[in-house]
């Protein structure tokens, strides 16, 4: 799940950002 978010969010949401949420 985390991997998907990081890949899809790479455009406008960096992988590190999702970690903060």
What pLDDT digit, counting tens, does each position of 1-21 carry?
455 555 555 555 666 555 545
Global confidence as pTM: 0.09
DSSP state of 13: S
Query: What's the pLDDT score for residue 9?
Result: 52
CA distance 12 to 10: 6
The percent of the chain in helix, strand and coil, each rounded to the nearest 5, is 60, 0, 40
In total, the chain counts a number of residues equal to 21
């Amino acid at each position: 799940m985390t991997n998907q978010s990081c890949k899809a969010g790479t455009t406008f949401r960096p992988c590190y950002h999702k970690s903060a949420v």
